[in-house]
Structure 1
């Protein structure tokens, strides 16, 4: 008989989050290089493939989050991990064109599925405050991605199959952990009949959607760092590609330092601190884009990345934490799925929007536009919080 535990273990949840992002990091970072150099696809085609992967992540997150509240979460997350195991085997066998693109889209779907499930399980941790939990989930997710991204470069020359094999091993390990540690009775589960009658208070719903929409806008700007900036540095400014890679090494190290420092100082558990983190973080994030038009050497880009990371690491984890505070147990999965989908929507839209601006106006206008978008997100969230937060019902679980 399966052993049933009470409440989610934070340690095993963070380990699962780390392994999930570690495994996923062996798949998507090499997509552009592999499609361009090995499968001889155009940059336009590559853009559509990346968009399909991001849209798949968004849809997977939304569906998984909704089902979390209605179905057995333990079965849902197992289904997601088993599907990823099957897809890694498919990648090992078939990785030509166009099968690679089809499998990558499915990988995006189930990657989003698992991420939303892990975030939803985060609402079931009883040993720590919700803000601490989501800070740590953000940290472990980024830490896993940093590790895998660092390993992709040395391993890729031996063949892409080895990366899929490593991802397969990691997903098998994730399945073992999920099977052993994720089966417990969740709090205040409701039947479908009762579920349909439960609704968020008006102001809670408004703030949740404002927060998620703000996160989408921020990720549209952030997507420029992950895509168009590499072309700008390498092709326009003729800077070596290792300098662009070094920016993400800085990003990963800083996120680790900031998150661990905040948790050591107990800042993530402070209620008032949450709003300072969100708004100050967004301001810092926006300021970094104003540095980029005037940067022509690595030092300028490194400074911009440091400021970006400070903003990202303080503001981004607090949005799912705020969503957790504003939603009852019976609806947490639905709205955590929504917040998990937001980055994927931003990653899907961002490269297309950025490409159009570059084509019409150039890179400098793109960076100013990204700063303006961040400012819009800041104003929207600030007005929403000032107007509505005092009218909300808070569902503090810890």
Structure 2
């Protein structure tokens, strides 16, 4: 059994395979439910909501358990159930079996994401900010790579997607058997009893909750790109669907360029650079929404997407990295679970909030309100950090 810290190479490998396998499950869920299973768009929305809530729940549970039991057991459970769920998908992919299994995969995909991120706090050979930058990059790379393959494979039948995902999760299970089995000090019986007594310094806790809630707000705004913007571009502006798809190609390529450049130049290890990434990243989200009411062609949307992606690639990985610095070893899993749950919360409620605002006020008002919400978030984060960070305890 290993006694040293987590290997970054194998952690990144696991993150890539996990997201690559996951990328074969959810991208075509809406199309499959609507076109093949004959469900209404309202029902599709509820199914996707339950999946996102499951991810949020799974992240929170596994994060808390990471500090209280052997992480190796956690990741075995998560990957094992994801593999079994692919077998269930192959056998039962009609209605209502499909959404039930999808809800289960939602719970354990969130479970695995939080566990992998928590393992990132156990990497001893690299700076934490570098680790979380790389984790974010490799997770996106795996998802984008899988999404690019989904369309052509789907034409041969959805079962093939589940079979490929099953192979990937099986491979991941083998990898974790060899490279994830080591004991953490905080899971001993004595320390397990002390965990409940450990309290974070008050300003650590305030800043952690501020940035986690801020991350949820950013994902509420980001989810508009993933849903309502496609309707706006196609139904309101009558732009072809390929142009919307091209925006995500730009997104994936730019994330790779930004992340690899930052890591090559070793910028993420600089604390001042961390604040620039967080503040600048949040500001980019707001700026993009201020641009959207004034664009009506692909070039304008591409500029807004580039600005949004710069915000995504800089702010998103730095928030769990900051949470890592502000939490002791015995609480890292709990708060990494909350940080991993924040995107799921945004994905769960973002489409509902955006849809409500669009129906009541229209697209342009929704864009302005989203920009305002992001601006308020930015101000709160800056004020909280300026006032409280000097009073925090770093771990």
TM-score, normalising length: structure 2: 0.98
Q: Give the Cα–Cα distance (whole angstroms) in 2 for the partners of residues 297 and 50 of structure 1.
A: 29
Aligned match of 2:246:
246
Q: Give the Cα–Cα distance (whole angstroms) in 1 for the partners of residues 125 and 339 of structure 2.
A: 23
Q: Name whichever of 192-201 and 21-30 sits farther off.
A: 192-201
Q: Give the Cα–Cα distance (whole angstroms) in 2 for the partners of residues 87 and 319 of structure 1.
A: 31
Once the two structures are TM-superposed, the CA of residue 368 in structure 1 deviates from its matched residue by 1.3
| 8 Å Cα contact 2:67/2:186 also seen in 1 | no
Q: Give the Cα–Cα distance (whole angstroms) in 2 for the partners of residues 289 and 187 of structure 1.
A: 46
| 8 Å Cα contact 1:288/1:307 also seen in 2 | yes
Once the two structures are TM-superposed, the CA of residue 28 in structure 1 deviates from its matched residue by 0.8
Aligned match of 2:268:
268
- Please, what is the CA RMSD of the aligned residues? 1.0
Q: Give the Cα–Cα distance (whole angstroms) in 1 for the partners of residues 161 and 292 of structure 2.
A: 33
Q: Give the Cα–Cα distance (whole angstroms) in 1 for the partners of residues 380 and 156 of structure 2.
A: 48
Unpaired segments of 5 or more residues in structure 2? none
Aligned match of 2:387:
387
Q: Give the Cα–Cα distance (whole angstroms) in 2 for the partners of residues 57 and 276 of structure 1.
A: 29
Aligned match of 1:95:
93
| 8 Å Cα contact 1:124/1:187 also seen in 2 | no
Q: Could you report, residue by residue, the CA deviation over 1:352-383 in whole angstroms, capped at 9, with x for unpaired residues?
A: 00110111111111111211111121011111
Q: Could you report, residue by residue, the CA deviation over 1:7-50 in whole angstroms, capped at 9, with x for unpaired residues?
A: 10000000100111111111111011111111111111111111
| 8 Å Cα contact 1:25/1:145 also seen in 2 | yes
Q: Give the Cα–Cα distance (whole angstroms) in 2 for the partners of residues 162 and 237 of structure 1.
A: 36
Q: 2:164 aligns with which of 155, 163, 166?
A: 166
Aligned match of 2:326:
326
Once the two structures are TM-superposed, the CA of residue 188 in structure 1 deviates from its matched residue by 4.2
| 8 Å Cα contact 1:7/1:185 also seen in 2 | no
DSSP-derived class of the 2:123 partner: coil
Aligned match of 2:154:
156
| 8 Å Cα contact 2:70/2:184 also seen in 1 | no
Aligned match of 1:339:
339
Aligned match of 1:175:
173
| 8 Å Cα contact 2:55/2:110 also seen in 1 | yes
Aligned match of 2:82:
84
Aligned match of 2:294:
294
Q: Could you report, residue by residue, the CA deviation over 1:42-82 in whole angstroms, capped at 9, with x for unpaired residues?
A: 11111111110000000000000000000010011000000
Q: 1:186 aligns with which of 184, 187, 190?
A: 184
Q: Name whichever of 357-366 and 318-327 sits farther off.
A: 357-366
Query: 2:359 matched to 1:359?
Result: yes
Aligned match of 1:132:
130
DSSP-derived class of the 1:109 partner: helix
Once the two structures are TM-superposed, the CA of residue 187 in structure 1 deviates from its matched residue by 4.1
Aligned match of 1:282:
282
Aligned match of 2:8:
10
Q: Could you report, residue by residue, the CA deviation over 1:185-240 in whole angstroms, capped at 9, with x for unpaired residues?
A: 22444533111111111111111111101101111111100111111112222222
Query: 2:307 matched to 1:307?
Result: yes
Aligned match of 2:65:
67
Q: Give the Cα–Cα distance (whole angstroms) in 2 for the partners of residues 178 and 230 of structure 1.
A: 38
Q: Give the Cα–Cα distance (whole angstroms) in 2 for the partners of residues 133 and 108 of structure 1.
A: 25
| 8 Å Cα contact 1:134/1:318 also seen in 2 | yes
Q: Could you report, residue by residue, the CA deviation over 1:162-191 in whole angstroms, capped at 9, with x for unpaired residues?
A: 111111111111111111100112244453
Query: 2:237 matched to 1:237?
Result: yes
Query: 2:372 matched to 1:372?
Result: yes
Aligned match of 1:146:
144
Q: Name whichever of 93-102 and 188-197 sits farther off.
A: 188-197
Q: Give the Cα–Cα distance (whole angstroms) in 1 for the partners of residues 198 and 341 of structure 2.
A: 22
Once the two structures are TM-superposed, the CA of residue 265 in structure 1 deviates from its matched residue by 0.9
Aligned match of 2:105:
107
Q: Name whichever of 91-100 and 236-245 sits farther off.
A: 236-245
Q: Give the Cα–Cα distance (whole angstroms) in 2 for the partners of residues 66 and 147 of structure 1.
A: 31
Q: Name whichever of 290-299 and 336-345 sits farther off.
A: 290-299
Aligned match of 1:214:
214
Once the two structures are TM-superposed, the CA of residue 159 in structure 1 deviates from its matched residue by 0.9
| 8 Å Cα contact 1:92/1:161 also seen in 2 | yes
Once the two structures are TM-superposed, the CA of residue 243 in structure 1 deviates from its matched residue by 1.3
Q: Give the Cα–Cα distance (whole angstroms) in 2 for the partners of residues 178 and 49 of structure 1.
A: 31
Q: Give the Cα–Cα distance (whole angstroms) in 2 for the partners of residues 73 and 96 of structure 1.
A: 34
TM-score, normalising length: structure 1: 0.97
Q: Could you report, residue by residue, the CA deviation over 1:258-300 in whole angstroms, capped at 9, with x for unpaired residues?
A: 0010011111001111011100111112101111112211111
Q: Give the Cα–Cα distance (whole angstroms) in 2 for the partners of residues 255 and 348 of structure 1.
A: 23
